[in-house]
């Protein structure tokens, strides 16, 4: 995945923004674009284009418990994206089919032609392979597969975003495990044996060129594990993500912000 340099372009101003964002100086923006044009995506100034972002958040479900605190996530993410210059479309409480329809409509928006990137934020209950629609239950799954999201926005199906960064944020469980472990502070406890040690790894002689390109996806949990949400403050992942994207966009690449 190529690196997305997340620098806010605008008129010269102090390093500290008047809002909660710390933005880089306009002169620094121009310098980075000139010196690193072969390493970063094309970044357009706000006056030259219109960013689009999509938030889908399922809160109420037919058969699953409500996601209390999710409204806080919507407010926080919407404010964050608007602060970064995106026009935000917000959708709530959709089935998997409706989510897919909304994603396809978003991918077809003509504004992407003059834009330089997009954000997709999906928040719901989830399973390992996808995101639950509001009608989901175990006997009658209602799931939007992760593969479907990438297919809709790939270079074959979304020409307007070809060679442009597509940032996907997912707040959803991907299993039932808690994802924690009790360990000893002894150095001996750090020794791990694995069937995937370097001696056991082999290189496949086939090289593929992917249709899915220029994506960066950040999920709130790894496969098989749950994702935590506070019923008052919102999802822990979303809270921390917003904090870092407000604090570091002036000096860090997108991937580096995620590492924070």
Q: Which residues are catalytic?
A: 125, 173
CA nearest to 232, candidates 78, 79, 57, 72: 72
Joined tokens for residue 206: 């086939």
In the DSSP assignment, the letter for residue 36 is T
Residue 1's SS3 state is coil
The HSE-up count of residue 49 (CA atoms within 13 Å, CB side) is 19
CA–CA dist 150, 18 (Å, integer): 36
CA nearest to 252, candidates 2, 61, 3, 6: 6
Residue 234's SS3 state is strand
On whether the CB atoms of residues 22 and 247 are closer than 8 A, the answer is yes
């Amino acid at each position: 995945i190529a690196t997305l340099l997340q620098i806010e372009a605008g008129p010269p101003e102090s390093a500290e923004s008047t809002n909660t964002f710390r933005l880089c100086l306009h002169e620094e923006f121009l310098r980075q674009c000139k010196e690193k044009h072969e390493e970063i995506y094309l970044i357009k100034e706000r006056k030259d284009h219109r960013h689009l972002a999509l938030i889908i958040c399922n809160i109420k479900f037919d058969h699953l418990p409500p996601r209390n605190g999710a409204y806080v996530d919507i407010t926080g993410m919407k404010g964050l994206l608007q602060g970064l210059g995106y026009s935000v479309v917000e959708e709530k409480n959709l089935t998997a089919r409706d989510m897919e329809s909304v994603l396809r409509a978003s991918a077809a928006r003509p504004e992407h032609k003059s834009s330089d990137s997009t954000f997709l934020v999906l928040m719901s209950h989830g399973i390992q392979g996808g995101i639950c629609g509001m009608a989901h239950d175990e006997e009658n799954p209602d799931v939007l597969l992760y593969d479907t999201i990438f297919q809709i926005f790939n270079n074959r199906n979304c020409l307007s975003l070809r060679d442009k960064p597509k940032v996907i944020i997912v707040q959803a469980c991907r299993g039932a495990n808690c994802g924690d472990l009790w360990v000893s502070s002894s150095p001996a406890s750090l020794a791990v044996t694995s069937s995937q040690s370097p001696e056991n790894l082999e290189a496949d002689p086939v090289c593929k060129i992917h249709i899915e390109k220029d994506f960066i996806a950040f999920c709130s949990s790894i496969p098989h594990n749950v994702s935590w949400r506070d019923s008052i403050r919102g999802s822990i992942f979303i809270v921390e993500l917003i904090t870092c994207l407000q604090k570091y966009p002036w000096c860090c690449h997108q991937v580096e912000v995620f590492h924070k």
